[in-house]
Structure 1
Amino acid sequence: MAREPGAAVYVAGHNGMVGSAIVRRLMSLGYVNIVTALHSELDLVDQRAVQAFFDRNRIDQVYLAAAKVGGIIANNSSPADFIYDNLLIEANIIKSSHDFGVPKLLFLGSSCIYPRLADQPIREEALMAGELEPTNEPYAVAKIAGIKLCESFNRQYGRDYRSVMPSNLYGPGDNYHASFSHVIPGLLRRFHDAREHGEAEVVIWGSGSPRREFLHVDDMAAASVHIMELDREAYQTSTTPMLSHVNVGTGSDCSIKDLAMAIAKVTGFTGKLTFDTSKPDGTPRKLLDVSRIRALGWESTIDLEDGLDDAYTWFVSHQADFRGR
């Protein structure tokens, strides 16, 4: 392992759920030179601003955790924003990293890059082997482009730019917007509000039958730093020049119905659960094959029950931030 606690490490998206978890992980491991920039200080879709930022800062490592993200409703209602903003963010940061000689970069993708009907569990080799899920295709295409940017700079210029593909993430710092959140924060808020208001029923999108794999963001941060710290030879031996990304997950999944029941328990909601089958389910199942990252020496440590409890505790202490949203 190549740990460099004195390295200048830029965490793009440090205020987001994943970025803030990576900052916490780095600090816990003794990293002392973590570089960050607020959106008000650096607009990542502005190429000149990003170039100037890298010119001012001598960066040794980049964690590219910045992205425009959202759930099914957000992806369906703003597809142009999701593909455009994410393409610009990753292109600007990866190209500037190369131009200013940053030796190591980690790009954080998403399991939505894989075909909608990929064989389960999904191996890294499934990338671009079938049609994407229509509800988040623009976002997925942008994330695939980020992987290919890293691979291309590695092939053409000998860079050491790596990519990790997490399963569905949740935890402290998540977005609990009433309409534009992912499934776990959305359900946590809905069940919490229903209990607080004495409601007898919570309506859940879809049939409840799709199966999903959920990864706590602190596990994701630990995996990200683990992958970044691997010696180049160890990492490259596990991949190929044309397939440089690595799945990150727990290796197990659950149905949305079972997830909803677990969240009802965590939040103390005792009413009825109703599934609205007129709403889209999305991909039927999404379970990642995590044999590659396990072979590289990392496994998740936070189970779903403990993770949901942690996420709910964070939401309760921050719910005022989401009032009116």
Structure 2
Amino acid sequence: MYKIGIDVGGMSIKAGLVDDGEIIKKSIKETNKSGGADNMIDDITQLVNNLLDESGLSIEEISSIGIGFPGVVTSGGRVSCVNLGLDNALIVSQLEKNFKGTHVKVGNDANVAALAEYAYGSMNGYNSGVMITLGTGVGGGIVIDGKLIIGENGVGAEIGHTMVATNYYDCNCGNNGCFETFCSATAIIKYAQKLLEKNRKSIIRDMCENNINNITAKMVFDAYKENDEVALEIVNRFKKYLAIGIANIVNFIDPSVISIGGGVSNASDILLDGLSEAVKQHLPFKKTEIGDIVIAKFKNDAGIIGASAL
């Protein structure tokens, strides 16, 4: 039987018909800006029905529906996401009624992306794995013996909010020193803007047409490849704290593999260069072996594939 995976985002909701980790058909709709549990249930119901109609299938041919949300999802299935107007919402029971008892499961979007990599991607075949998503923020997921580790209250894999150092700006969560304020695309852009505001010379100025608000992480990595002095400083700082963040993970979990995903992972040649050696320098025992550090296999489809594997 087929499974359906759903990736809920602030801008859109994507659904996919999945067979053994392979997406057969996709359907997408804009997220209802009004928010709230009722609207979310209606959106998901409509999206799944559209997917079934387009595929010529009935709900009886679907073994389960998995949904990844960009927020806190407890072990009891309660979903909280400020951007979507969800506050401790229980939506599973209503969806199961709408779909004639088909089993519905929910999880955090970064966690389900980790599950996708563990089940079918870069972490497949390992006993334990941690995925780090380096995007606008930093997300994470922990899988041990095939099971997601989310903690009692659903916040057990908030890797992006582990503390690595004092920073010059606060995280959106209100704390200072969060991993994601050093190693996200946002962090790269903010630090580039900070340096260029000091009138530093850099080819990044030409790339962004002298408007620092147009800077992207890709521009910084491209400039790094040209040995631009500012870009070198930005990327070396990024890699320093990436190594510290990963060392924290090794100290806590010592996983068999750490997979790096998200948009920043497109610069994989730069990220992986010397990374394992740098991580070891932050461990209490310098000669300790660590798990493999790899680049995630799935990009934009990780949420759908992982949700289907819940």
Give the shorter-chain TM-score range: 0.3 to 0.5
- Normalised TM-score (structure 1): 0.33
Whose radius of gyration is greater, 1 or 2?
A: 2
* Greater helix proportion: 1
* Greater strand proportion: 2
